[in-house]
């Protein structure tokens, strides 16, 4: 399901003394099957933008097109609900939203609320527990007896249980240690490749954007200021620097190696750990 943004603007607290413009003239395309990273400093509009990707917010101006549905300021709530099933958002610290007494029930909650049968919801829960690399006996445990990383996986399973075709991730590694970060990022990479899940990653990490994404949108002061492949974006160091962003170390390192051996390496082959 392609998503396109056409001249999207959004203001918080519209027509109040506290009105705050968060997005202006934002354009962008998220193609089916792509892995898009949205990068930019705190306050640049990333979170506001991602809430437009599944109709949690309606644009004050412009158009958000999600598959066949066009969302504008006048779109009715009923139409937004249909879109929400197709685009799943994993918010920051999603484990804070766990609440059921068992992991299985927590994962089943969403689909059952959308009319999926109990048996089918349970089946999905067990498939997801396996897919996300959690031990099978996790199903009957309380989510609150799990480690932080496991809790996060359960919360992610709760979003995947809707069978979204697009998965939107807001800083999904926040608060995890380096190993946990890598595991979660590799998990999303696998879901993207094996489940053909269109993926949108909102991140502060230039490294993650370079390593995992094939499409990057750069936000600055509520505007979309750059868009393209990681090669294009990180190849234009000067423009990036004008938005206070830098080229990740792994990309710099790769350039040094390429110079030494006199030929290009496969695109962005090195990681920071190398």
Site for ligand ADP in 28-47 (CB under 6 A): 40, 42-47
Contact between residue 186 and residue 176 where contact means Cβ atoms under 8 Å apart: no
Q: Which of 12, 93, 109, 114 binds ligand ADP (CB under 6 A)?
A: 12
Judged by beta carbon, residue 107 or residue 200, the one nearer ligand ADP is: 200
The helix or strand, by DSSP H or E, that contains position 69, with its residue range, turns out to be strand 69-71
Query: What is the rounded CA–CA span in Å between residue 117 and residue 77?
Result: 25
Query: What is the rounded CA–CA span in Å between residue 49 and residue 33?
Result: 20
| Smallest separation, CB 102 to ligand ADP (Å) | 33
- Binding mask 167-206 vs ligand ADP (x if CB under 6 A, - otherwise)? ----------------------------------------
| Smallest separation, CB 156 to ligand ADP (Å) | 20
| Smallest separation, CB 4 to ligand ADP (Å) | 19
Phi and psi torsions of 202, nearest 5°: -95, 120
Judged by beta carbon, residue 161 or residue 219, the one nearer ligand ADP is: 219
Helical spans, DSSP H, in 176-266: 178-194, 206-212, 230-235, 237-242, 249-261
| Smallest separation, CB 227 to ligand ADP (Å) | 16
CB crowding 116-140: b at 16 or more within 10 Å, else e:
beeeebbebbeebbebbebeeebbe
| Smallest separation, CB 185 to ligand ADP (Å) | 19
Judged by beta carbon, residue 19 or residue 195, the one nearer ligand ADP is: 19
Query: What is the rounded CA–CA span in Å between residue 160 and residue 69?
Result: 21
Q: Is 159 in the site for ligand ADP (CB under 6 A)?
A: no
Taking the mean position of all CA atoms in its chain, how far away is CA 247? 21
Query: What is the rounded CA–CA span in Å between residue 266 and residue 38?
Result: 23
Q: Is 59 in the site for ligand ADP (CB under 6 A)?
A: no
Q: Which of 36, 48, 54, 215 binds ligand ADP (CB under 6 A)?
A: 48
In terms of Cβ atoms closer than 10 Å to its own Cβ (0-12, 13-18, 19+), residue 56 is: middle
Judged by beta carbon, residue 20 or residue 118, the one nearer ligand ADP is: 20
Q: And the tokens for 114?
A: 């959308």
Judged by beta carbon, residue 134 or residue 202, the one nearer ligand ADP is: 202
| Smallest separation, CB 18 to ligand ADP (Å) | 7
Query: What is the rounded CA–CA span in Å between residue 158 and residue 55?
Result: 19
Number of residues forming the site for ligand ADP (CB under 6 A): 12
| Smallest separation, CB 47 to ligand ADP (Å) | 3
Q: Is 20 in the site for ligand ADP (CB under 6 A)?
A: yes
Judged by beta carbon, residue 22 or residue 240, the one nearer ligand ADP is: 22
Do strands 215-220 and 3-12 pair parallel, antiparallel, or not at all (unpaired)?
A: unpaired
Residues that bind ligand ADP (CB under 6 A): 12-13, 20, 22, 40, 42-48
């Amino acid at each position: 399901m392609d998503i396109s943004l056409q001249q999207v603007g959004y203001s918080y607290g519209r027509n109040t003394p506290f009105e705050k413009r968060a997005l202006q003239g934002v354009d962008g395309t998220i193609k089916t099957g792509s892995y898009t990273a949205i990068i930019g400093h705190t306050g640049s509009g990333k979170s506001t933008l991602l809430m437009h990707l599944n109709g949690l917010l309606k644009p004050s101006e412009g158009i958000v097109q999600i598959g066949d549905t066009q969302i504008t300021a006048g779109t009715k709530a009923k139409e937004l609900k249909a879109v929400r099933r197709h685009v799943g958002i994993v918010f920051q610290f999603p484990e804070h939203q766990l609440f059921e007494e068992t992991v299985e029930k927590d994962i089943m909650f969403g689909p059952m609320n959308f009319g999926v049968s109990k048996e089918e919801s349970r089946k999905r829960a067990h498939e997801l527990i396996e897919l996300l690399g959690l031990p099978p006996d996790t199903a009957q445990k309380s989510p609150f007896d799990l480690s932080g990383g496991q809790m996060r996986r359960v919360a992610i399973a709760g979003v995947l249980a809707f069978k979204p075709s697009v998965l939107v991730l807001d800083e999904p590694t926040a608060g995890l240690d380096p190993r946990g970060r890598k595991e979660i990022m590799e998990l999303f990479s696998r879901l993207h490749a094996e489940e053909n899940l269109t993926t949108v990653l909102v991140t502060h990490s230039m490294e993650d954007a370079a390593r995992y994404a094939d499409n990057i949108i750069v936000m600055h002061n509520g505007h979309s200021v750059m868009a393209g492949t990681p090669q294009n974006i990180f190849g234009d160091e000067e423009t990036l620097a004008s938005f206070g962003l830098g080229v990740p170390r792994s990309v710099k390192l790769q350039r040094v190696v390429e110079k030494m051996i006199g030929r290009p390496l496969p695109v962005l082959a090195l990681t920071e750990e190398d």
